[in-house]
């Protein structure tokens, strides 16, 4: 595959906000006002897809409306980046209707996470365009403790320089969107070393249950020489994460995977460090590759931005781990 790395965002560039999953209508005015100011502060112009406020029984809208906004964002030469409003459950509905040639011929930054994992990996698979797992537009509406997330957004999307993923000083798993002033910070103990080793490879994955929706389709990426970045939200549990990971391991090319980086679990998932270690150690296919966990991405905050299709080097030792994203 010939990879396409989109041009980085610059001052005065326009980003388009679209809603390929849930609708923007679910966001409060406070969140939108804070998010808009953050883009102003970055020096970025922003515009919105025609259909972002449409909503239905699923807090989403029709495939036709979502596809129109996606295609228009890629086709508009004034738009240099595309950021999704929020996640949800149904972005994989769009895959059959996407004009892949349009995307390939108009490469630009595309960023989102959670349910957007389906689009991130499918776009990379079908076009070679490197996409980005990172904060939604809604996340920019966080009033407090957004500095780390913003820093890694800029490192990944506004510069070409390699960057090392360093742990945040603290993290949170609170419902910040309900009360912006009531935040609960938890001291970050750093990443969890499960298997030692050193490796380089192509980053794939992100939200595990969404990534697995692509299995057996033309939209699932080639796992050879990859390092998987995987996470899941509060709706997972130790037994569901175990079986979802096992499903991935059963794929024919999994033996070509070079490493596993796991994002931090939400507290409601009850995936503790000890349970996670036990899950990993039951899978002999993982014995000879480096595995680390509790990295700052997923459905807790803050979070890094990382490239789906980009390149990373990980070095994992007994009491220390390093992940350096050197091409993004």
Quick: pLDDT tens for 255-265: 999 999 999 99
Given 299, 300, 311, 328, the catalytic residue:
299
Q: Which residues contact 83 (CB under 8 A, 6 or more apart)?
A: 15, 16, 17, 18, 111, 112, 136, 137
179 and 310 inside one domain: yes
45 and 146 inside one domain: yes
Catalytic annotation on 299? yes
Of 157, 174, 193, which residue sits at a domain end? 157
- Separation in Å, CA 197 to CA 271, 288, 315, 323: 24, 8, 6, 12
Residue 114 belongs to some domain of the structure: yes
235 and 145 inside one domain: no
Catalytic annotation on 114? yes
167 and 309 inside one domain: yes
User: How many residues are listed for the chain in this entry?
Assistant: 328
Per-residue pLDDT band for 278 (boundaries 50, 70, 90) equals very high
Q: Which residues contact 234 (CB under 8 A, 6 or more apart)?
A: 266, 267, 268, 269, 299
Is residue 293 scored above 90 in pLDDT? yes
206 and 281 inside one domain: yes
Residue 9 belongs to some domain of the structure: no
Residue 282 belongs to some domain of the structure: yes
Peptide bond into 202 cis (omega under 30): no
Alpha carbon distance 261, 39 (integer Å) = 30
Q: What is the pLDDT of residue 248?
A: 98
Alpha carbon distance 151, 225 (integer Å) = 28
267 and 169 inside one domain: yes
Per-residue pLDDT band for 274 (boundaries 50, 70, 90) equals very high
In the chain, how many domains are there?
A: 2
Closest CA relative to residue 131, chosen from 288, 315, 305: 305
24 and 132 inside one domain: yes
Q: Report residue 271 CA to chain centroid gap.
A: 20
Given 23, 91, 114, 133, the catalytic residue:
114
Tell how strand 291-298 and strand 192-195 pair up: antiparallel
For residue 38, the domain's CATH number is: 3.40.50.10740
Model's pTM, two decimal places? Answer: 0.98
Residue 168 belongs to some domain of the structure: yes
273-281 helix and 238-249 helix, angle to the nearest 10 degrees: 30
Q: What is the DSSP string of 146-190?
A: -HHHHHHHHHHHS--S-EE----SEEE-S-TTT-TT---EEE---
Mean pLDDT over each residue of the chain, to the nearest integer = 97
Alpha carbon distance 225, 176 (integer Å) = 38
311 and 194 inside one domain: yes
For residue 174, the domain's CATH number is: 3.50.30.60
Rounded mean pLDDT of 177-195? 96
Q: Which residue has the tokens 């005065």?
A: 12
Residue 245 belongs to some domain of the structure: yes
Q: What is the pLDDT of residue 265?
A: 97
81 and 211 inside one domain: no
Residue 7 belongs to some domain of the structure: no
Of 130, 157, 184, which residue sits at a domain end? 157
Of 157, 187, 217, which residue sits at a domain end? 157
Per-residue pLDDT band for 25 (boundaries 50, 70, 90) equals very high
Alpha carbon distance 275, 280 (integer Å) = 9
Per-residue pLDDT band for 319 (boundaries 50, 70, 90) equals confident
231 and 289 inside one domain: yes
Closest CA relative to residue 134, chosen from 287, 307, 1: 307
Closest CA relative to residue 123, chosen from 103, 145, 106, 96: 103
pLDDT tens profile 191-233: 999 999 999 999 999 999 999 999 999 999 999 999 999 999 9
Per-residue pLDDT band for 289 (boundaries 50, 70, 90) equals very high
Given 231, 300, 311, 328, the catalytic residue:
231
99 and 173 inside one domain: no
Residue 226 belongs to some domain of the structure: yes
174 and 135 inside one domain: no
Rounded mean pLDDT of 99-109? 98
Catalytic annotation on 30? no
Range of the domain at 209: 163-327
Residue 5 belongs to some domain of the structure: no
């Amino acid at each position: 595959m010939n990879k396409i790395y989109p041009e980085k965002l610059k001052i005065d560039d326009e980003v388009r906000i679209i809603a390929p999953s849930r609708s923007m209508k679910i966001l409060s005015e406070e969140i939108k006002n804070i998010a808009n100011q953050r883009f102003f502060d970055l020096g970025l112009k922003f515009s919105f897809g025609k259909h972002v406020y449409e909503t239905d029984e699923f807090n989403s809208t029709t495939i036709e409306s979502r596809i129109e906004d996606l295609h228009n964002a890629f086709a508009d030469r004034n738009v240099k980046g595309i950021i999704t409003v929020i996640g949800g459950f149904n972005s994989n509905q769009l895959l059959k209707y996407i004009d892949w040639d349009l995307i390939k011929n108009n490469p630009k930054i595309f960023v989102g996470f959670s349910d957007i994992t389906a689009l991130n990996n499918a776009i990379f698979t079908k076009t070679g365009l490197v996409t980005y797992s990172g904060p939604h537009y809604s996340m920019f509406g966080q009033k407090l403790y957004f500095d780390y997330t913003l820093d890694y957004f800029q490192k990944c999307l506004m510069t070409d320089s390699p960057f090392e993923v360093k742990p945040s000083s603290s993290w949170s798993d609170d419902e910040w969107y309900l009360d912006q002033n009531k935040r609960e910070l938890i001291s970050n103990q750093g990443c969890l070393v499960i298997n030692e080793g050193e490796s380089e490879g192509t980053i794939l994955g992100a939200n595990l249950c969404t990534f697995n929706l692509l299995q057996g389709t033309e939209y699932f990426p080639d796992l050879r020489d990859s390092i998987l970045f995987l996470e899941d939200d509060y709706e997972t549990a130790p037994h569901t994460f175990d079986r979802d990971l096992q499903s991935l391991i059963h794929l024919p090319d999994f033996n070509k995977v070079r490493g596993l980086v796991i994002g931090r679990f939400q507290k409601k998932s009850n995936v503790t460090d000890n349970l996670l270690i036990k899950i990993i150690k039951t899978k002999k296919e993982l014995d000879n590759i480096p595995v680390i966990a509790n990295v700052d991405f997923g459905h807790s905050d803050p979070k890094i931005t990382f490239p789906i299709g980009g390149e990373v080097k990980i070095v994992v030792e007994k009491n220390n781990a390093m992940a350096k994203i050197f091409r993004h």
